[in-house]
Amino acid sequence: YGNETTQAKEVVYQVFNNFKMLYPNFVFTLDDDLPTEKTLKIYRNHFEQILIIIMDNAVKYSTDRNEVHVSISSNAKDFEIVIQDFGEGISEEDMPKIFNRFYRVDKARARTKGGNGLGLSIAKQLLESYKGKIVPESSLGQGTIFRIYIPIAKKMSEFQ
Site for ligand ATP in 86-115 (CB under 6 A): 87-90, 98, 103-105, 115
Phi, psi (deg, nearest 5) at residue 33: -115, 25
Strand partners, 102: none
One residue of 8, 12, 40, 58 binding ligand ATP per CB under 6 A = 58
Q: Is 116 in the site for ligand ATP (CB under 6 A)?
A: yes
How far apart (Å, rounded) are the C-alpha atoms in residues 50 and 89? Answer: 19
Rounded Cα distance, 79 and 132, in Å: 9
**Interacting residues with ligand ATP between 4 and 43 (CB under 6 A):** none
The interface region with ligand ATP, picked from 14-22, 36-44, 57-65, 74-82 by CB under 6 A, is: 57-65
Pairing of strands 67-74, 27-32: parallel
CB of 36 to ligand ATP, least distance (A): 29
What is the Cα–Cα distance from 73 to 63, expressed in whole angstroms? 28
Applying CB under 6 A, which residues contact ligand ATP? 53, 57-58, 61, 85, 87-90, 98, 103-105, 115-121, 144
